Structure 1
Amino acid sequence: MADDDRLSKERQGADNPAAPALPSTTAPGAVRVRPGTIQLNADRSDDERLRLVIVNAGDRPIQIGSHLHLPDANTSLSFDREAAQGFRLDIPSGTSQRFEPGASREVALVALRGRRRVPGIQLKPAESDEVDRG
């Protein structure tokens, strides 16, 4: 067996007696989940949802994370920033969406909770006084 094949199988756990077993569902710290699927942001109303087309007009790939206030995204992304005020991507926490150069994609957005404000990512002059006052 070639070294590359052997390493590949070891990484996958095949033919590797030292490969760890799946964690027990009764051990301390175990994660137990109910059967079925989870719908993200299921409690959100229609006015807390939005769909927009985003185009990467730049020459490099751009990723947008799950919690980024969308209007503060890279300026090479072309979309209706005013409509996106107070919104983020409607994707699982900790994930992101990648936009290749020239790519265009319709995305689902969900409103931020609370005041729908995220000061400090790209501080605008009008916001600086308000942030300083708390």
Structure 2
Amino acid sequence: MTGPSGAGAPGEILYGEGDVPLNPGRERITLRVVNTADRPVQVGSHYHFAAANPGLEFDREAAWGRRLDIPAGTAVRFEPGVERDVTLVPLAGGRVVPGLRPEWAGPLDERPTGIESPAGTERTTGA
């Protein structure tokens, strides 16, 4: 079935050849994460990983300005007590996180101080 222009049916999805690379050319780091909470925690593909749920234990300083290296619209689930490695890539675009966790909102290129543990920690920029 083709539409009036001969381009295909309305809403048809045309797939290209080969695999689509995930975040090509992006610097990647791997961090070990353990869920110390008593319930599962899920983190989405474009969430600022350093600001993720306080029940997740990992190197938040290393994760600053990064997100999971997974396809857009997907997420990683961390089960209670389970340890796993994740790969992170830098957030791109304007590199400003406007909210999510308001105490950590703002420009990503202004390195904050005191981000080791997000519980009760206000985001402040170093002098």
Asked if TM exceeds 0.5, the reply is yes
- The equivalent residue for 1:93 is 72
Identity %: 53
Q: Structure 2: give runs of 5+ residues left out of the alignment.
A: 1-6, 107-127
When the two chains are superposed, the root-mean-square deviation of aligned CA atoms in Å is 2.0
Match for 1:120 among 99, 102, 123?
A: 99
Match for 2:44 among 53, 56, 65?
A: 65
2:23 is matched by which residue type in structure 1? N
More helix by share: 1
Q: How far, CA to CA, are the matches of 2:8 and 2:17 in structure 1?
A: 17
Instruction: Indicate if the aligned counterparts of 2:51 and 2:104 stay in contact, CA closer than 8 A.
Output: no
Map 1:1-134; keep pairs closer than 5 Å.
26-44=8-26, 48-114=27-93, 116-124=95-103
How far did residue 115 of structure 1 move? 5.1
What CA deviation, in whole Å up to 9, does each residue of 1:2-61 have, x standing for no partner?
xxxxxxxxxxxxxxxxxxxxxxx92122111112111110132xxx32110110011101
Count the aligned residue pairs.
Answer: 100
How far did residue 101 of structure 1 move? 0.4
More strand by share: 2
How far did residue 122 of structure 1 move? 1.8
Report the CA distance shift for 1:126/1:32 in structure 2 as closer, same or farther (over 3 A). closer
Q: How far, CA to CA, are the matches of 2:104 and 2:75 in structure 1?
A: 29
Report the CA distance shift for 1:29/1:68 in structure 2 as closer, same or farther (over 3 A). same
Q: Normalising by structure 2, what TM-score?
A: 0.71
Q: Normalising by structure 1, what TM-score?
A: 0.67
Moved more, 31-40 or 92-101: 31-40
Q: Which runs of 4+ in 1 moved over 4 A?
A: none
Moved more, 52-61 or 112-121: 112-121
